[in-house]
């Protein structure tokens, strides 16, 4: 894990290999402000415009979200809008197929870090995993993790759980942790399915307190977020972030 990076944004701590999902969920859901700190406010649609990206970043700053997650082409725009706010820029790479060359992944990390990205969400090489080439998967993730941490950023590895068997999910999660990821992430939101509570619980079972778990894909309501947090997620990826906060029925914003 990158030096100085915390995978929990509340006072609930990882202790002796155990993550208190119930305690973390209860504390996180206690207020809109605390819930916002675990949500990656996300806009990854290919048709997203500059105006929409700028709005996303303004909302991330206003509500205090964990980060604003955008596509690489918008990294510079996001960094400009968020400058001085304390809200990090998150960017996806190898997205959504996970079929990039290792050299491409590393170049993306270096370039995006220079543009101001502090959180990197990569899609692991799904085809190589399903081909049983675990060494290649580990090499790819380790290379990206090394580059990401070198630039002081954190890495989330997207498994695309809807395309994997249970055995493949377990194997991918362990490979990613051993290779240095800071978070296991369920989904891109662009494949055949998104996050499920069963997958989040499975990933947390593998991770324990070794890394974070991000639930992403199809999380549109407060009820959805609650289920994922109670299953063991300590980060949520969502585009309906503001609507989710409003469901708590209290004033929001910083």
Helices (H) and strands (E) in the chain, counts: 11, 8
d(CA 210, CA 18) in angstroms, rounded, equals: 9
> Please, which residues bridge with residue 174 across strands?
none
Q: 89, 120 in Cβ contact below 8 A?
A: no
Q: 217, 237 in Cβ contact below 8 A?
A: yes
Q: Tell me the catalytic residues.
A: 121, 185, 214
Q: 42, 53 in Cβ contact below 8 A?
A: no
Closest by CA position to 232, among listed 67, 24, 39, 32 = 24
Cα 162 to the center of its chain, rounded Å? 16
Q: 212, 235 in Cβ contact below 8 A?
A: yes
3-state helix, strand, coil in the chain (%, to 5): 45, 15, 40
Please count the other Cβ atoms lying within 10 Å of the Cβ belonging to residue 9: 18
């Amino acid at each position: 894990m990158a030096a100085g990076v915390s995978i929990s944004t509340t006072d609930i701590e990882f202790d002796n290999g155990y993550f208190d999902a119930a305690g973390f969920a209860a504390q996180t859901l206690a207020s809109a402000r605390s819930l916002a700190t675990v949500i990656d406010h996300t806009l990854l649609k290919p048709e997203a415009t500059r105006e929409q990206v700028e709005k996303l970043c303004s909302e991330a700053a206003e509500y205090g979200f964990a980060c604003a997650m955008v596509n690489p082409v918008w990294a510079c725009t996001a960094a400009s809008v968020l400058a001085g706010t304390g809200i990090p820029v998150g960017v996806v790479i190898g997205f959504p197929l996970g079929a990039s060359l290792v050299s491409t992944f590393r170049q993306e990390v270096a370039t995006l870090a220079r543009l101001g990205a502090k959180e990197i969400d990569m899609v692991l090489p799904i085809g190589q995993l399903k081909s049983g080439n675990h060494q290649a998967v580990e090499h790819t993730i380790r290379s990206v993790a090394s580059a990401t941490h070198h630039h002081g950023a954190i890495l989330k590895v997207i498994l695309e759980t809807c395309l994997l068997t249970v055995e493949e999910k377990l194997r991918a999660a362990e490979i990613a942790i051993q290779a240095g990821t800071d978070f296991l992430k369920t989904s891109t939101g662009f494949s055949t399915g998104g996050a499920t509570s069963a997958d989040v619980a499975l990933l947390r079972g593998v991770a324990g307190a070794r890394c974070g778990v991000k639930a992403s894909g199809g999380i549109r309501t407060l009820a959805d977020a609650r289920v994922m947090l109670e299953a063991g997620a300590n980060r949520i990826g969502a585009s309906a972030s503001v609507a989710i906060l409003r469901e708590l029925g209290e004033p929001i914003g910083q």
